[in-house]
Amino acid sequence: MGKIAKLEADLVDGRERDRELERKIAETKRKNDDLEAQLSEQNTEVRDGKAKIGELEGKINALQSKNFDLETQIDRTMTFLKRDGWSYLAKTASWYKVIDQGMTFDEAVAYCASRKSHLVSIHSQEENDFVCELAKTVDSLNWFWIGLKRNPNKGNALEWTDGSAVDFTNWRSGEQDSYTHAASKNSDLETQIQFERENKTAEIMKLQADLNRTMNLLDPGGWSYLAKTASWYKAFDQWMTFDDAVAYCASRKGHLVTIHSQEEHDFIWKLARTVRWHSSFWIGLKRNPNREDAFEWTDGSSVDFTNWRVEEPDSYTHAALWSGHGKWGAYAPTNLYRFICKMSSQF
């Protein structure tokens, strides 16, 4: 009987342990169900989040498309309005145009007024730079009237012709002299009271340009004429050593170009840029073999003008002009560069 009682007690204990395990299993299943429910809820939130993201992306794409359409419409509108050469600056909400005609100040004022506009007034560095770049599209070395002048009834105080405030100026060093009306040189748009009211400099320069164009028509070979020097010039898009370039120019009854003034230099620089914007061109300047500290022109003319870049000339012996910035550098004569020839009379 004792053994049977013990077995029965063990059986009871075993059943109790089984029930405890069942309770633990049930609790574990409940927790697992809770976790699955939470995960399902989170998955739903993720799906909803993704759906919202997709909706937002769709709205963003739609807005970008509208912006693109608006920009396209603006560009088309601007292009349409610019058909007469006017350019728009958003910051000032104004239109600008450079007129390539020689006029006095008063004639320029009247001309602008006849177009329902006025001589340009400039009120910020941004507007100044914009007008400068615009002027360069016409001529990078000329003067252009702007609407700034002295008022004799107000102690010669400066004023804009449109009546706006003089809240920005860009005078070059030493300016505001005794003259009365302002012009700008678009190489850096430094405003300058340069001319009296009846000054015809721009008109004279235009006549010279017309003369140059007429002279160019006389020669089909691409030579360009400068009235001040009464000489012809041509930049060649061929690579040669210095000596080969000398011989080539001589074969055309000319010589490697000599330069004797800022005006002649600027003319030649512009000529070189019509061939290559960033390239070296041989000019006829070289060291005197008997005086290493002295340079001489190959045609024997005096060296009365130079335009060396900083720290030039160095130890090299022959000069070339860089069409990018117009400065000169010294190089070995065996280098291969383009070149410019000059003739003192028509060929």
Least confident span in 85-94, 279-288, 319-328, 338-347: 85-94
Which band of pLDDT confidence, cut at 50, 70 and 90, is reported for residue 181? low
Percent of the chain exceeding pLDDT 90 equals 27
- Please tell me the predicted confidence (pLDDT) of residue 314: 81
Tokens of 242: 């210095």
215 burial (CB, 10 Å; 0-12 / 13-18 / 19+) is middle
Mean pLDDT for all residues in the chain: 78
Residue range 10-39, pLDDT digits in tens: 777 777 777 887 788 778 888 877 777 777
- Please tell me the predicted confidence (pLDDT) of residue 68: 65
Average pLDDT over residues 67-78: 58
Average pLDDT over residues 70-96: 64
- Please tell me the predicted confidence (pLDDT) of residue 295: 92
Which band of pLDDT confidence, cut at 50, 70 and 90, is reported for residue 179? low
Question: CB of 344 within 8 A of CB of 253?
Answer: no
Q: Phi-psi category of 127—alpha, beta or left, where left has phi over 0 and alpha has psi -120 to 50?
A: alpha
Cα 228 to Cα 215: distance, rounded to the nearest angstrom:
13
Cα 186 to Cα 208: distance, rounded to the nearest angstrom:
19
38: amino acid identity, one letter: Q
Cα 31 to Cα 24: distance, rounded to the nearest angstrom:
10
- Please tell me the predicted confidence (pLDDT) of residue 154: 83
Which band of pLDDT confidence, cut at 50, 70 and 90, is reported for residue 200? very low
- Please tell me the predicted confidence (pLDDT) of residue 175: 54
Average pLDDT over residues 237-254: 95
303 burial (CB, 10 Å; 0-12 / 13-18 / 19+) is middle
Cα 264 to Cα 237: distance, rounded to the nearest angstrom:
20
